[in-house]
Amino acid sequence: MPEPGRALPQPTPETKHFWDGTQAGELRLQRCDECSHTYFPPRPFCPKCASRKVSVFAASGRAILDTYVIHHRKVPGFVPPYAIAVVKLAEGPRMMTNIVECAQTPEALQLDMPLEVVFEKQTDTITLPLFRPAKG
Amino acid sequence: MPHNTVAVVGAAETTKLGVIPDMSQIQLHADAALNAMADCGLKPRDIDGVATAGETPVQIAHYLGITPTWVDGTSVGGCSFMIHVRHAAAAIEAGLAKTILVTHGESGRSGIGRGQRPVPASSLNGQFEQPFGPMGPPSLFPIPVLRYMKTYGVTHEQIAMVSVVQREWAAKNPRATFRDPITVEDVLGSRMIAYPFRLLQCCLVTDGGGALILTSADRAKDFPTKPVYILGTGESVETPMVSQMESFTSSRAFSVAGPTAFREAGITHKDVDHLMIYDAFAHLPLYGLEDLGFVPRGEAGRFIAERNTAIGGKLPLNTNGGGLSYMHSGMYGMYALQESVRQMRGSAPAQIPGAKISVCHGVGGMFAASGTIIFSNQKP
């Protein structure tokens, strides 16, 4: 028996565009057509003004490291210590993620450091958006 | 308008606290409820309202033999019981029930008669947080802390003092799980759980329960116990996902619930003799002190490090030892309420002499929800 991997998302009709996006190499957000509010997580209406007129668009993938913990306990699919991070996307919303291609230490993980999205395939149907220190 | 018209007349915890392997979760509810009924001389037939979380009001009413005219199963985490008290006060004022029992019981350590609560992979949490490696509250609740520390220049040593001071309070409490003194060095040398938090900055995991009985203030004189009046109440919720908080340096739910209770009570911070802030993790008293307006933004770390909340300080906080040292079954709010009631009755192990007003502030989930109750032992 292989070791169990990390927990994986099960997309719903309202979130399918996001998970289709990560498979296609896009970080897809939603923006309200009426009030221009950009939001996450996905839903088919604007959480600010309740309009159902919203559009999906590909975000830049740029973000800064907003906050994190470095988790020291064993979790399936992870080798401790590893950071559980929240990034603030250039477009405004925050999302939880992991920081890759970076030492998982307080010294390496500086708040407000610029990051960029990378897509890590987990299965034939699920690809996760992770972030690494920005290169450009 | 202050409530002023509803009082706690019965209050008790389970006979035992800590590790209780010979009692299932529903029996912990019942043990506390029977103790609270004995406290004020009532029988199940005298109770016409039931509020609870963890178990359903159906299970609790049936198990105890109660026929309610009002129930509340609000279950938003550890502050559910603050919110139950708020709803119970409103229900009594509205005439929906006369005598309401609020119960909590949790086999948090032994896991007897307790279901697992996995996060569904299709929920928003399951899709947008669980894949990134959290494992319960110790990994998620401290998420905002580094941002708070950077914003206000709060040090690890200052936050460590939360645990140190609360252990000093716990030392005065024979029912506290941990009573031996600890130092800042002990806290910062304890096992890392989720940087920046270490073991001594995380709550205990224990078994126990508690129950409250509320009725109208005009009936309170008929009971053998000293009435504890409800002056003000507040509640709110924000987000099921800590990653989606509006701010990592403040809780929106705290900032709604706390001030609502103060307005309703018609009191100022100077009037407060005793304070409970639900401390599942060591940063919660900092957020609570600031969001409830006891100290300016960013000042709470220094306020605690300078021993203002310690024994002899001007604002006694978490005088039972808190979730960090007293006990924490998982939904700790009931134990904070019990300590506020003890302080108002004058029966707390670490009694604040002459205390007349106690503020009890709770959190649910990972900053998901909040409830605040302001108590007084003075008849309004």
At B342-355, the pLDDT tens digits run 999 999 999 999 99
Element (H, E) at A120: strand A114-121
C-alpha to C-alpha distances, A107 to A84, A103, B105, B321, nearest whole angstrom: 15, 8, 43, 34
At B219-261, the pLDDT tens digits run 998 999 999 999 999 999 999 999 999 999 999 999 999 999 9
B262 Cβ under 8 Å from any chain A Cβ: no
A22 near B131, Cβ under 8 Å? no
Confidence of residue B327 (pLDDT cuts 50, 70, 90): very high
B360 near B375, Cβ under 8 Å? yes
State the best of A8, A10, A84 to mutate against chain B, taking most chain B CBs within 10 Å: A84
Contacting residues for B127 by C-beta, under 8 A, at least 6 apart: A9, A10, A11, A12, A15, A19, A41, B121
B242–chain A nearest CA distance, Å? 9
Mean pLDDT (chain B) is 97
**Residue B278: active-site member:** yes
| DSSP bridge partners of B195 | A70
DSSP conformational letter for A77? T
B177 near B140, Cβ under 8 Å? no
Strands (E) in chain B, as ranges, are: 6-13, 49-52, 70-72, 99-107, 192-195, 197-198, 207-216, 228-237, 274-277, 357-364, 369-376
Contact A106 B197 (CB under 8 A): no
> What string of DSSP letters covers B212-255?
EEEEEHHHHTTSSSPPEEEEEEEEEE--S-GGG-S-SSS-HHHH
Residue B27: pLDDT over 60: yes
Residue B117, pLDDT score? 78
Q: Name the CATH topology of B6-113+204-376.
A: Peroxisomal Thiolase; Chain A, domain 1 (3.40.47)
Residue B1, pLDDT score? 45
A23–chain B nearest CA distance, Å? 15
Which residue of A6, A41, A67 is in closest CB contact with B124? A41
Which 222-261 residues of chain B touch chain A by CB within 8 A? Answer: 241, 243-244, 248
At B158-203, the pLDDT tens digits run 999 999 999 999 999 999 999 999 999 999 999 999 999 999 999 9
Lookup: tokens for B365: 């989930």
State whether residue B209 is helix, strand or coil. Answer: strand
C-alpha to C-alpha distances, B199 to B5, B127, B241, B302, nearest whole angstrom: 43, 28, 23, 22
Residue A1, pLDDT score? 59
Contact A84 B191 (CB under 8 A): no
**Residue B326: active-site member:** yes
Residue B2, pLDDT score? 52
Residue B36, pLDDT score? 98
- What is the mean pLDDT of the segment spanning B12-41? 97
Does the pTM exceed 0.90?
A: yes
At B271-301, the pLDDT tens digits run 999 999 999 999 999 999 999 999 999 999 9
Residue A131: pLDDT over 90: yes
Sign of CA pseudo-dihedral A97, A100, A105, A108? negative
B226–chain A nearest CA distance, Å? 46
Give domain limits for chain B: 6-113+204-376
ipTM score for this prediction: 0.98
Contact A71 B139 (CB under 8 A): yes
A5 near A76, Cβ under 8 Å? yes
Residues in chain A: 136
At A63-113, the pLDDT tens digits run 999 999 999 999 999 999 999 999 999 999 999 999 999 999 999 999 999
Mean pLDDT (chain A) is 97
| DSSP bridge partners of B74 | none
Residues in chain B: 380
Which residue of B142, B147, B191 is in closest CB contact with A111? B147
C-alpha to C-alpha distances, B300 to B92, B113, B226, B283, nearest whole angstrom: 36, 40, 33, 10
